[in-house]
Chains A and B, each alone.
Chain A
């Protein structure tokens, strides 16, 4: 290990020499690895954005509880208090007829004219219950056991769909991760083998001089690391640019979509991509060295 550290300058020089022997292939490897990692970076970012949106909407998860027509205001308020005590309920509030009407006017906007058709307010009072999405089943079960409740409306369909999108992005992320890993490892191990093939005379000479395996292999390990880190840096730069553009375009027309802070998203993505690059670089180089040794 001491020898490795002391010879770092030599190893770097050797690595550059090895890479210069196949300059075009090495440059193309950096670009192809970079593009593959770019796709991974965008998938990871999409996953994080959708997860954030789902989290925000989940935070707004609420159900509407309609109580018996005959129940007076006092009874409704008592029901509100009972609902608040259910585990998983964050808040519950009585919404009167007029507030329900106003809300619908807001939602319908210009089309609210249609409500004028009715002589009386067509909306019933109800209890708005904010819940933790994970506890929805439990809350609904508890509400079923309560007396005075006529009907419960949940937004399960919407929430389930959002959950599915997040799940899809997660699966895509895993698949992309696997695809990127395999493709990068194949490219890299091929490059390392090529490098060793081109330098086999030197490698044999070092063996005959008694050089340890790690001393012979280190420049090739370094080559793999530089190739993937180069690709990773390229991917990170491209992805950062793409995300900035995406944020700028989404901020105007789609302000209601809750996005994670851009700076944090980009810096997190850069760290992940560079770490993945480094790991793939080391693993790919080791695979290349092993396969070169076996041939």
Chain B
């Protein structure tokens, strides 16, 4: 599902964000990526989404090589990913339901299922009662759940969540991690980045990538 060999990433300003990453993630895996701020977690996710290209090395996500000149292939790859952005990237002036549906409209989802699937996604994140609320009127936690609903409603092969526990207290952060982990199944992998290592303690049956100054260490949790 994800293959990386010797991947490094250097930004135009000279910052080296990733150094020779080797990685193999299979379908249906749950992987946590931890590390301090600036350790390279978000850069790794950006590479996986095709927002950046490896400076050196080889990276393939869901069969799509992440290289320049493959814009259409990368766009199609993104259609199969359910991203939960750090800053949510919800569209103001639209309801929770409309935001969830927006991520599905250009997928090959039958019209008759569009509303139902979006509704079900909101039910799964516990926000069915807020489906008609404008997203700017929702609390931080609720907006995050809408972002998660938008990601899972697309029935993606890969869910990528960037720092979903940021700005949340411990209980809510654990709830969100549990919620995201629950979407893992044999066809859907889930990768979650978090700087709060202590939240992952005690998690079972998951992979752990520890990032440190652009280097990575792979461990097994539980």
Contacts and interface: CB of A to CB of B under 8 A. Distances in A.
Given A208-B83, A210-B75, A3 B89 contact: no
Contact of B105 (A3, A17, A204, A205): A3
A164 interface: no
Contact of A212 (B81, B89, B102, B106): B106
A212 B75 contact: yes
A3 B106 contact: yes
A1 to B, nearest CB: 12
A25 interface: no
B78 A208 contact: yes
Interface string A208-222: 111110010000000
B67 interface: no
Contacts of A7: 105-106
Interface string B67-93: 000000001111111010100010101
A209 B93 contact: no
B105 A210 contact: no
Contacts of B76: 210
Interface string A193-205: 0000000011011
Interface in A1-27: 3, 6-7, 10, 17
A3 B110 CA distance: 10
Nearest to B150: A209
Interface residues of A, number: 17
Given A202-B91, A208-B51, A215 B105 contact: yes
B49 interface: yes
A201 B89 contact: yes
B103 interface: yes
A201 B91 CA distance: 8
B51 to A, nearest CB: 7
B111 interface: yes
A202 B102 CA distance: 10
Contacts of A208: 49, 51, 78, 83, 85, 89
A209 B104 CA distance: 9
A6 B111 contact: yes
A34 to B, nearest CB: 28
Interface string B30-69: 0000000000000000000101000000000000000000
A127 B220 CA distance: 114
A15 to B, nearest CB: 13
Contacts of B79: 209-210
Nearest to B114: A6
Contacts of B103: 209
Contacts of A6: 111
Contacts of B83: 208-209
Most buried by A among B76, B93, B103, B106: B106
A6 B91 CA distance: 21
Interface string B88-132: 010101000000001101100001000000000000000000000
Contact of A211 (B89, B91, B106): B106
A85 B15 CA distance: 94
B84 to A, nearest CB: 11
A209 B78 contact: yes
Nearest to A211: B106
Nearest to B82: A209
Contacts of B89: 201, 204-205, 208
Contacts of B51: 208
Contacts of A209: 78-79, 83, 102-103, 154
Q: Which 5 A-B pairs have the closest CB atoms?
A: A210-B78, A210-B79, A205-B89, A215-B106, A211-B106
8 contacts: A6-B111, A201-B91, A204-B89, A209-B154, A210-B75, A210-B78, A211-B105, A212-B75
Interface of A: 3, 6-7, 10, 17, 201-202, 204-212, 215
Given A205-B85, A209-B78, 6 more contacts: A202-B91, A208-B83, A210-B75, A210-B76, A211-B106, A212-B75
